[in-house]
């Protein structure tokens, strides 16, 4: 990887870019306050920076876009599609003899009202955007951009181009609110994971203290199954991690890939009564492509 590619990777990982469209990006300059336009013309990326215009080379801004697209493609493979809500019964008597009954107006837009001819009550469905000053479209767009890898400030810049002027603090409050709402539903979901799981540990700072994070991730889908925090690496009892992962996935792995740490060997033997297969003592302690690091 040459110097331009290395700088492009740094820009992509810092999310110092804005996706205006699939063919147009704005990349923040690393030395000034200006932005550079990276545009795709006839399947070829062009940039209005001096490095690309005068030297005719693939600049760091183009490399940043290419790396960002690759990251997004990986995440799109595991994207979850949420189907629109359909209202087919009364929220009070659960009767199906309902009909639209005007709209209720508020700051976030119009909310459809319904009338039930069985119990003679009117109602509207709480979709989670009531009392929000911004529109549901702006909020869902911000959440989608954030969870596909955009930074908070990049999200606010994108929303500003769409006519919604909010701060990154507001966007963060949206993310906090709606991720908490989703937690109670996520706990009920049984993930569709494979039979081969990766076990690994990461040394990182949590609330100012250095801790070890033990984690299990599905080898095929890269789904983060379970994790637990420990004060030490050697001698840690990883049975709690295996129990938690079995509760989440409703199954146990047929192959557990480790880095040879004895804690996994002992926990697997005690929890499942057999030795794990697929261990690789020479494997590095960090996972390929850094997926586990990105999910912390």
Residues of the chain with pLDDT under 70: 1, 15-16, 75-86, 106-109, 126-127, 130-131, 186-187, 273-296
26 vs 165: CA distance, rounded Å: 18
User: Do 260 and 278 have their domain in common?
Assistant: yes
User: Do 217 and 166 have their domain in common?
Assistant: no
Domain assignment present for 131: no
Under 8 Å between Cβ of 86 and 111: no
Q: For residue 37, what pLDDT is reported? A: 93
158 vs 150: CA distance, rounded Å: 10
User: Do 26 and 100 have their domain in common?
Assistant: no
User: Do 204 and 285 have their domain in common?
Assistant: yes
The residue behind tokens 């005068």 is: 54
Q: For residue 291, what pLDDT is reported? A: 38
119 to each of 79, 89, 90, 98, 123, how far by Cα in Å? 40, 12, 9, 10, 11
How many domains does the structure of the chain reveal?
4
Domain housing 244: 196-294
Residue 209: exposure state from Cβ atoms within 10 A (0-12, 13-18, ≥19): exposed
User: Do 36 and 63 have their domain in common?
Assistant: yes
Where b means 16+ CB within 10 Å and e means fewer, 78-115 reads eeeeeeeeeeeebeeeeeeebeeeeeeeeebeebeebb
Domain assignment present for 129: no
For residue 254, the domain's CATH number is 3.30.420.10
User: Do 241 and 168 have their domain in common?
Assistant: no
Q: For residue 126, what pLDDT is reported? A: 60
Domain assignment present for 19: yes
* Three-state SS at 272: helix
Residue 37: exposure state from Cβ atoms within 10 A (0-12, 13-18, ≥19): middle
User: Average per-residue pLDDT in the chain?
Assistant: 80
Domain assignment present for 82: no
Domain assignment present for 81: no
Hey, which residues does 24 pair with through a beta bridge? Answer: 21, 39
User: Do 160 and 231 have their domain in common?
Assistant: no
Domain assignment present for 61: yes
- Assigned token pair, 278: 């697929």
User: Do 241 and 269 have their domain in common?
Assistant: yes
103 to each of 1, 27, 132, 139, 183, how far by Cα in Å? 58, 42, 17, 21, 30
User: Do 290 and 200 have their domain in common?
Assistant: yes
- Assigned token pair, 208: 């100012």
Q: For residue 127, what pLDDT is reported? A: 64
Where helices occur in the chain by DSSP H, the ranges are 3-14, 50-55, 60-76, 136-147, 152-161, 168-186, 239-249, 262-272, 291-294
User: Do 141 and 179 have their domain in common?
Assistant: yes
Backbone Cα Rg of the chain: 24
Q: For residue 78, what pLDDT is reported? A: 57
Domain assignment present for 109: yes
User: Do 231 and 158 have their domain in common?
Assistant: no
Q: For residue 86, what pLDDT is reported? A: 67
Domain assignment present for 191: no
User: Do 42 and 100 have their domain in common?
Assistant: no
């Amino acid at each position: 990887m040459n110097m331009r590619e290395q700088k492009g990777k740094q820009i992509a990982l810092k999310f110092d870019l804005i996706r205006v469209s699939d063919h147009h990006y704005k990349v923040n300059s690393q030395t000034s306050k200006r932005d550079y336009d990276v545009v795709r013309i006839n399947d070829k990326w062009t940039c209005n920076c001096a490095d690309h215009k005068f030297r005719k080379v693939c600049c760091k801004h183009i490399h940043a876009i290419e790396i960002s697209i690759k990251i997004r493609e990986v995440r799109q493979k595991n994207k979850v599609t949420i189907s629109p809500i359909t209202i087919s019964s009364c929220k009070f008597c659960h009767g199906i003899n309902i009909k639209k009954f005007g709209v209720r107006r508020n700051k976030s837009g119009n909310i459809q009202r319904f009338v039930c001819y069985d119990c003679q009550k009117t109602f509207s469905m709480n979709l989670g955007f009531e009392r929000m000053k911004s529109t549901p479209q702006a909020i869902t767009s911000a959440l989608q951009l954030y969870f596909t890898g955009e930074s908070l400030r990049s999200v606010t810049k994108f929303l500003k181009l769409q006519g919604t002027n909010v701060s990154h603090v507001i966007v963060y409050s949206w993310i906090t609110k709606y991720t908490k709402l989703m937690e109670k539903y996520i706990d009920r979901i049984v993930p569709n994971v494979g039979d081969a799981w990766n076990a690994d540990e990461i040394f990182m700072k949590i609330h100012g203290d250095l801790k070890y994070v033990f984690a299990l991730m599905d080898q095929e889908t890269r789904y983060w199954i379970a994790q637990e925090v420990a004060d030490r690496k050697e001698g840690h009892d990883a049975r709690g991690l295996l129990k938690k992962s079995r509760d989440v996935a409703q199954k146990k792995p047929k192959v557990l890939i480790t880095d040879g740490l004895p804690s996994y060997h002992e926990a697997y033997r005690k929890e499942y009564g057999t030795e794990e297969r697929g261990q690789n003592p020479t494997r590095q302690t960090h996972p390929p492509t850094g997926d586990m690091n990105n999910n912390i």
